[in-house]
Amino acid sequence: MLKLHFAPNSRAGRIVWLLEELGLPYDINKMAFHPKDLKSDEHRARHPLGRVPVLEDGGVSIYESGAIVEYVFAKHTDGGLKPSVDAPEFPAYLQWFHYCEGMVMPPVNTIVVQTVLLPPERQNKEALEQAQRLLTKALQPIDEALDGKDYLIGEFSGADIMLGHAIFMSNRLGCVNDEMQNIKAYVERIQARPAFQTAITMQ
């Protein structure tokens, strides 16, 4: 049985969504998004930095959400939610899968730090505004790529698990402007998926 170590409002939501989409059975260890849980000796034994998600599968323990997604595809599916390497969609799948952490999540992280995690007296307006500008620029190519598509490569895939979750977070932070109508519609499609709804109710 897979076991997911989870905290709300984190990348661990991606993995709940993934497991629900695939219909895989799993147990969940839900922790508070607080140092008393995440920085405990018990959890640091799972992740040296005390972060989530961490997935345990028998004697295997793995962290980093993208690595977990790839691991689950390799070990527990028969090609589900991932195009074959010779499919014409495969390069775009790889691109959007990794665009998430490379281009979208760095400014999202800064925005969350500057608006949620830091006390008001330590927040930096210039850092926040720069991150908001960078996020808007990073979202624009996605809006263009979604023109005429329901999902990033046409059919729903692991790229949507990774990048779709980040876009949902960006929208919740108010960083998807009204001109990005393709992204707005995409977020609505994602939110309508039962597996996503299950993942978000855990937040």
CATH of the domain at 170: 1.20.1050.10
Tell me the three state secondary structure of residue 30.
Answer: strand
| Whether the predicted pLDDT of 79 surpasses 80 | no
- What number is the average pLDDT over the span 1-13? 95
Instruction: Supply 4's token pair.
Output: 């997911």
What is the Cα–Cα distance from 27 to 50, expressed in whole angstroms?
Answer: 19
17 and 76, same domain (yes or no): yes
Q: pLDDT exceeding 90 applies to what percent of the chain?
A: 94
Q: Are 55 and 3 in contact (CB under 8 A)?
A: yes
Instruction: For helices 181-191 and 165-172, give the axis angle rounded to 10 degrees.
Output: 110
Range of the domain at 186: 90-193
Spatial separation of the C-alpha atoms in residues 115 and 123, rounded to whole Å = 7
pLDDT confidence band for 202 (50 / 70 / 90)? confident
50: left (phi over 0), alpha (psi -120 to 50) or beta: left
Q: Residue 170: pLDDT above 90?
A: yes
Site of tokens 């897979």: 2
Residue 161 has pLDDT above 90, yes or no: yes
> Would you put residue 60 in left (φ > 0), alpha (ψ -120 to 50) or beta?
beta
pLDDT at 150 over 90: yes
Interhelix angle 194-201/12-22, rounded to 10 degrees, is: 140
Q: 114 and 38 in one domain?
A: no
* pLDDT on residue 201: 86
Q: Give the SS3 label for residue 86.
A: coil
Instruction: Please check whether residues 124 and 34 belong to one and the same domain.
Output: no
Answer whether residue 80 shows pLDDT above 90.
no
Pick the closest to residue 131 from 164, 95, 162, 169 (CA basis). 169
Tokens of 170: 């960006």
Strands (DSSP E) contained in 138-197 are none
Whether residue 188 sits in one domain with residue 169: yes
Using DSSP bridges, classify how beta strands 26-30 and 2-6 pair: parallel, antiparallel or unpaired. parallel
Residues 33 and 103 in one domain: no
Task: Over range 16-44, report the average pLDDT.
Answer: 95
User: Structurally, how many domains does the chain consist of?
Assistant: 2
Based on the fold, state whether residues 105 and 187 are members of the same structural domain.
yes
* Residues sharing a CB contact under 8 Å with residue 198, sequence separation 6 or more, in sequence order: 16, 17, 20
pTM beyond 0.85: the answer is yes
Residue 154 lies in a domain: yes
Residue 2 has pLDDT above 90, yes or no: yes
